[in-house]
Chain A
Amino acid sequence: MTNTFSQVGTNVRKVDGMALATGGSLFVADLAPENALCGMILTSPHAHARIVRMDISKAEALDGVFAVLYHGNVPRILHTTAGQGFPEPSPYDTAMFDNKVRYVGDRVAAVAAETPEIAARALSLIEVEYEILEPVFDPVKALQPGAPIIHDEPDAHVVIPVPYDKDRNLAAFVETSVGDVDGTLARCDIVVSGTYTTQYAQHCPIEPHITLCELDPYGRVRITSSTQVPWHVRRIVAQCCEIPVRRIRVVKPRIGGGFGAKQEVLIEDVCTMLCLRSGQPVLMEYSRKDEFVSSRTRHPSVCTTTLGFSKDGKIQAIRMHMVLNTGAYGSHALTVGSNCGSKVLPMYPCEHIEFKMEGAYTNLPVGGAYRGYGATQAVFSVECLIDEVAAKLGRDPLELRVQNHIRSGMGSPIFKALGEGTEGVEMTIGSCGLPECISLGAEAIEWKKPRTSSGRKARGVGMAILMQGSSIPHVDMGAATIKLNEDGSFNLLMGATDLGTGSDTVLSQIAAEEIGVDTAMMIPLSSDTDVTPFDVGAYASSTTYLSGGAVKKAALLIRHQILEVAAEMLRCEQDKLSIEDGRILGGAKVITISDVALHSLYSHNQKQIMASASHITEKSPPPFAAHFVDVEVDLDTGFVKLLKYVSAVDCGTTIHPKLAEGQTEGATMNGISFALTEEYLFNEKGRMLNPSFGHYKIFTTADMPEMVTIMVPTYETTGPYGAKSVSEISINGALPAISNAIFNACGVRMMHGPFTPERVARALREKS
């Protein structure tokens, strides 16, 4: 499709790019006043223990200590840290501080002190006596009768009607089925099955969690936080600290990456309480170790999937049983779990589908939202098993996918069956560029070209196809306000939360396109709860599609208001006029938007040209992708070298092509790093052994393969200017695509991530 837009589809300069590149004072840590106290948290050294005695008196008495918090002196308000819409689908199983600790890294106490040194000293003076309890680390064992019960407190509960059974460590449960899976599988010519596991991993934003809380002269708390969910922060902090929402202002400055980790109200409650108790500004930041141990992670998974095919290569039935390890708290367990089904099973339409998900509490770090959100875990099994079927049928795995994948105009009963804590929404696929993604990706990787292995180096190719969603239909809401200034510029006030993705730029482009001005005329301000309208936040791949919809609506209202005033000025019919590049055309003379602004503000019948709009969505159109990888496996060492990786993505219209490519490249690289190196190592007591970048390897420039990114344009009629989402999908491909390529290279099937040399070498030894 040719681009008929003037702003959309162009690579305008990222609005915050130069301020960031010149090192401006933009992040939370840069904005802290000199007198801010240091907030610091004491964490549990035990995986499962009851606190039988605590004495904070020595810490309180230390010079330079302003506040000490523990379960004995803060309200016990059970809540969820998951930054989700209200009422949240995650269980209320977390207190600011509790008399029980449930994993190594759980909160025990917090202090606010003049310096980090005094804060650390104060923490060391807090006396805690623990009664050690038996821990459970394996999610499957945790669900079995007789396992230690992690949430034995009577008051943990869910706030929406969903299954929850803390007495058997069941944090979340989903089950759905259509058709007759048992009967169909019995009649299938080919049935393949396998249990695939994914490991603990962390988002690793280069800026760890950080929050600054300050009291203003009116007694209100200003929370400047590195968050993806400012409005959920405001609501949950109000809940936990028992203060009204009106006393809280949340401001989001620039954010140093989130990837889902910052869709969590993790430290804002403690920091606010320290600020209220001390009356002083408090800065609380996680160390890198805290970020690994006490922040949030990708829920590890054990996924048993069965696929049934007829011998003509047509899929007949899918069964998936997913066990998610949610760790000590059930944050996002239900919704990550349901997304395992809803973002993967519709990819291969068939009439017989069974899905069951159990989210298990364990005494390990807490799961949360992580880019990919369940699709990452679930697509691993399905896309590897498709290759297994192809091998059995003697078919090209690419062609088998082409024969079976979902297409434009098709639906899936899963869309209706699996929502996010509620029933889902029936949906027919609108735009689907999957065929083009597959063909262009195959061409780029030279799919058909025979790979020659030599000596100990085995070559192979693999692929995977993917889908995600764009926002949560009927749940998520975004809103925007636009107002016109004298020089023809516009304040674009958005709830939408730019966490480094570039959404301020993308949404400015959408507003500028709709009004008919250059993007440079937009002055975006995102996420200040006192100033901008509401938005649920930056998650669920929603910002461009959902918040973009709100911006577009508000911009349309602005355009009408401008033309109304212009018609009055030009004494003509409004419908004769149009706006192009900031000028009003079609009247007796050409006037500018600035002329209109000056007229409306100062001359006659004065008013502020401004408009607000809210947007919810009826559907969650999936972006699609095909990933391809060319690998070389060292048969002696098991080292898997990626030679080339191709990501072909259909995200509808790319509002800003370079930013869309950047989202794809970043997600792809994170996926590759997860597939090959990233994992948590624990000792037998549940302590993470590698909480540093020195021991938890994320990819650098030296590790990366040749990367090819292909954006396949389609037009999603329900999205702003045809756009769907792009941010999450490409993190999901590497795990199955690389497993398939390793299988293609040397015949071993890697079913447990990450594919480290040790694991691959072991698999090779077991095969021979």
Chain B
Amino acid sequence: MIPIELDINGQTIEMEVVPDLTLLDLLRAVGVVSVKKGCGEGDCGACGVLLDGVYVKSCLILAAQASGHSVETVESLGNVEHPHPLQTAFVDAGAVQCGFCIPSMLLAAKSLIEDHPEPTVEQIREGLDGNLCRCTGYVKQIEAVQTAAAVMKEEDHD
């Protein structure tokens, strides 16, 4: 067993884990269920988290590797009463169908907007390339990222 200490959405977690436990399985085990398992092989992108602010796939990272770092998931973005502009934009654009891929995609979108505050369609396509969605055809998600980016820019100015 390996002792680890990490920050999940602002809360410090200390525990002992088996060496091959993935960050994905750790997060789900401690109740962070927004992080989804769609393949466990790093292909589908449903398990994305922000590790020290960088978007990564949590099924490809061992929990022990994440020790000493901070993990942000969609739970930290907003809630039903106070959603993040990305969440509002996704829902209102019709970008959420089954919703299974959405929490991770929102984090990928957040990360890409940090890099490109006014993202072009091409930049969004590149930024969301690792997030498979079988429901939507991605059209409304690209639209939603643009809408959210504009709102976030506005909020920054306020």
Residues of chain A touching chain B, judged by Cβ–Cβ distance below 8 Å, are 11, 13-14, 16-27, 29-30, 203-208, 254-257, 259, 287-288, 499-502, 658-659, 661-662, 664-670, 692-694, 698, 700-702, 704, 707, 709
Task: Give A24 to B87 CA distance when docked, in angstroms.
Answer: 13
Which residues of the other chain, A, contact B136 by a CB distance below 8 angstroms?
Answer: 662, 665-666, 669
Instruction: Give min CB distance, B139 to chain A, whole Å.
Output: 5
User: Do the beta carbons of B129 and A701 come within 8 Å of each other?
Assistant: yes
Instruction: Give min CB distance, B64 to chain A, whole Å.
Output: 17
Instruction: Give min CB distance, B29 to chain A, whole Å.
Output: 9
Knowing that A287-B40, A659-B94 are A-B contacts, what are 16 other residue pairs whose CB atoms are under 8 Å apart, sorted by A's residue number? A16-B99, A21-B87, A206-B134, A207-B38, A208-B38, A256-B36, A288-B38, A288-B40, A500-B99, A662-B137, A666-B134, A698-B134, A701-B126, A701-B131, A702-B125, A709-B139
* Contact status of A700 and B96, CB under 8 A, knowing A20-B102, A665-B139: no
Instruction: Give min CB distance, B145 to chain A, whole Å.
Output: 10
Instruction: Give min CB distance, A678 to chain B, whole Å.
Output: 11
Task: Give A709 to B93 CA distance when docked, in angstroms.
Answer: 14
Which residues of the other chain, A, contact B139 by a CB distance below 8 angstroms?
Answer: 661, 665, 704, 707, 709
Most chain B beta-carbon neighbours within 10 Å: one of A13, A203, A702: A702
User: Do the beta carbons of A701 and B134 come within 8 Å of each other?
Assistant: no
Which residues of the other chain, B, contact A22 by a CB distance below 8 angstroms?
Answer: 34, 74-75, 77-80, 83, 87, 103
User: Do the beta carbons of B142 and A701 come within 8 Å of each other?
Assistant: yes
Task: Give A204 to B44 CA distance when docked, in angstroms.
Answer: 10
User: Do the beta carbons of A500 and B94 come within 8 Å of each other?
Assistant: no
User: Do the beta carbons of B38 and A206 come within 8 Å of each other?
Assistant: yes
Which residues of the other chain, A, contact B42 by a CB distance below 8 angstroms?
Answer: 694
The contact sample of 27 A-B pairs, CB cut-off 8 A, is A17-B96, A21-B102, A26-B99, A204-B132, A206-B46, A206-B100, A207-B38, A256-B100, A257-B134, A288-B43, A499-B98, A500-B99, A500-B135, A501-B98, A501-B135, A662-B95, A664-B137, A665-B137, A666-B137, A669-B137, A694-B43, A698-B132, A700-B128, A700-B129, A700-B131, A700-B132, A704-B139
1/0 per position for B35-58, CB-CB distance to A under 8 A? Answer: 111111111101000000000000
B92 at the interface (CB under 8 A from A): yes
Which residues of the other chain, A, contact B113 by a CB distance below 8 angstroms?
Answer: none
Task: Give A208 to B36 CA distance when docked, in angstroms.
Answer: 11
Which residues of the other chain, B, contact A256 by a CB distance below 8 angstroms?
Answer: 36, 38, 98-100
User: Do the beta carbons of B41 and A669 come within 8 Å of each other?
Assistant: no
Which residues of the other chain, A, contact B44 by a CB distance below 8 angstroms?
Answer: 206, 288, 693
The closest CB in chain B to the CB of A11 belongs to B94
The closest CB in chain A to the CB of B93 belongs to A658
Which residues of the other chain, A, contact B40 by a CB distance below 8 angstroms?
Answer: 287-288
Classify the secondary structure of B's interface with A: loop
Instruction: Give min CB distance, B152 to chain A, whole Å.
Output: 15
B130 at the interface (CB under 8 A from A): yes
Task: Give A700 to B131 CA distance when docked, in angstroms.
Answer: 7
Closest 8 A/B residue pairs (Cβ): A500-B98, A23-B34, A20-B99, A665-B137, A256-B100, A658-B94, A693-B43, A669-B137
Task: Give A702 to B128 CA distance when docked, in angstroms.
Answer: 8
Which residues of the other chain, A, contact B133 by a CB distance below 8 angstroms?
Answer: 206
B73 at the interface (CB under 8 A from A): yes
Task: Give A693 to B44 CA distance when docked, in angstroms.
Answer: 7
Instruction: Give min CB distance, A409 to chain B, whole Å.
Output: 33
Which residues of the other chain, B, contact A18 by a CB distance below 8 angstroms?
Answer: 80, 83, 87, 91
Number of contacting residues on B, CB 8 A? Answer: 56
Which residues of the other chain, B, contact A206 by a CB distance below 8 angstroms?
Answer: 36, 38, 44, 46, 98, 100-101, 132-134
The closest CB in chain A to the CB of B100 belongs to A256
Instruction: Give min CB distance, B22 to chain A, whole Å.
Output: 12
Which residues of the other chain, A, contact B73 by a CB distance below 8 angstroms?
Answer: 23
Which residues of the other chain, A, contact B36 by a CB distance below 8 angstroms?
Answer: 27, 29, 206-207, 256
Classify the secondary structure of A's interface with B: loop
Task: Give A665 to B44 CA distance when docked, in angstroms.
Answer: 19
Most chain B beta-carbon neighbours within 10 Å: one of A16, A20, A205, A502: A20
Task: Give A409 to B117 CA distance when docked, in angstroms.
Answer: 54
Which residues of the other chain, A, contact B41 by a CB distance below 8 angstroms?
Answer: 288, 692-694
The closest CB in chain B to the CB of A256 belongs to B100
Which residues of the other chain, A, contact B141 by a CB distance below 8 angstroms?
Answer: 701
Task: Give A254 to B39 CA distance when docked, in angstroms.
Answer: 19
* Contact status of A666 and B135, CB under 8 A, knowing A20-B96, A693-B44, A701-B125: yes
The closest CB in chain A to the CB of B144 belongs to A21
User: Do the beta carbons of B96 and A21 come within 8 Å of each other?
Assistant: yes
* Contact status of A668 and B74, CB under 8 A, knowing A22-B87, A693-B43: no
Residues of chain B touching chain A, judged by Cβ–Cβ distance below 8 Å, are 28, 33-44, 46, 73-75, 77-80, 83, 87, 90-103, 106, 124-126, 128-142
User: Do the beta carbons of A692 and B128 come within 8 Å of each other?
Assistant: no
The closest CB in chain B to the CB of A658 belongs to B94
Task: Give A361 to B38 CA distance when docked, in angstroms.
Answer: 30
Task: Give A667 to B28 CA distance when docked, in angstroms.
Answer: 31
Task: Give A22 to B28 CA distance when docked, in angstroms.
Answer: 15
Query: Pick the contact of A207 from B34, B98, B124, B137 — CB < 8 Å?
Result: B98
Which residues of the other chain, B, contact A14 by a CB distance below 8 angstroms?
Answer: 91, 94, 96
Task: Give A659 to B91 CA distance when docked, in angstroms.
Answer: 11
Task: Give A704 to B140 CA distance when docked, in angstroms.
Answer: 13
Instruction: Give min CB distance, A17 to chain B, whole Å.
Output: 4
Which residues of the other chain, B, contact A709 by a CB distance below 8 angstroms?
Answer: 139
Instruction: Give min CB distance, A629 to chain B, whole Å.
Output: 14
Which residues of the other chain, B, contact A13 by a CB distance below 8 angstroms?
Answer: 91-92
Task: Give A613 to B38 CA distance when docked, in angstroms.
Answer: 38
User: Do the beta carbons of B138 and A704 come within 8 Å of each other?
Assistant: yes
Which residues of the other chain, B, contact A692 by a CB distance below 8 angstroms?
Answer: 39, 41, 43
Task: Give A499 to B100 CA distance when docked, in angstroms.
Answer: 11
Task: Give A706 to B141 CA distance when docked, in angstroms.
Answer: 14
Task: Give A524 to B46 CA distance when docked, in angstroms.
Answer: 27
Query: Pick the contact of A254 from B34, B99, B125, B129 — CB < 8 Å?
Result: B99
Which residues of the other chain, B, contact A17 by a CB distance below 8 angstroms?
Answer: 90-91, 96, 99
Most chain B beta-carbon neighbours within 10 Å: one of A14, A17, A255: A17
Task: Give A23 to B142 CA distance when docked, in angstroms.
Answer: 20
Most chain A beta-carbon neighbours within 10 Å: one of B38, B95, B137, B142: B137
Most chain B beta-carbon neighbours within 10 Å: one of A254, A287, A694, A701: A701
The closest CB in chain A to the CB of B140 belongs to A662
Instruction: Give min CB distance, A705 to chain B, whole Å.
Output: 11
Task: Give A698 to B43 CA distance when docked, in angstroms.
Answer: 10
Instruction: Give min CB distance, A483 to chain B, whole Å.
Output: 24
Query: Pick the contact of B100 from A25, A257, A701 — CB < 8 Å?
Result: A257
Which residues of the other chain, A, contact B74 by a CB distance below 8 angstroms?
Answer: 21-23
Task: Give A29 to B6 CA distance when docked, in angstroms.
Answer: 24
Task: Give A127 to B137 CA distance when docked, in angstroms.
Answer: 45
Which residues of the other chain, A, contact B101 by a CB distance below 8 angstroms?
Answer: 206
Instruction: Give min CB distance, B100 to chain A, whole Å.
Output: 3
Task: Give A670 to B138 CA distance when docked, in angstroms.
Answer: 11
User: Do the beta carbons of B134 and A205 come within 8 Å of each other?
Assistant: yes
Which residues of the other chain, A, contact B102 by a CB distance below 8 angstroms?
Answer: 20-21
Instruction: Give min CB distance, A733 to chain B, whole Å.
Output: 13
User: Do the beta carbons of A704 and B132 come within 8 Å of each other?
Assistant: no
Which residues of the other chain, B, contact A667 by a CB distance below 8 angstroms?
Answer: 137
User: Do the beta carbons of B137 and A704 come within 8 Å of each other?
Assistant: yes
The closest CB in chain A to the CB of B141 belongs to A701
User: Do the beta carbons of B94 and A661 come within 8 Å of each other?
Assistant: yes
User: Do the beta carbons of A21 and B99 come within 8 Å of each other?
Assistant: yes
Which residues of the other chain, B, contact A499 by a CB distance below 8 angstroms?
Answer: 98
The closest CB in chain B to the CB of A204 belongs to B134
User: Do the beta carbons of A21 and B137 come within 8 Å of each other?
Assistant: no
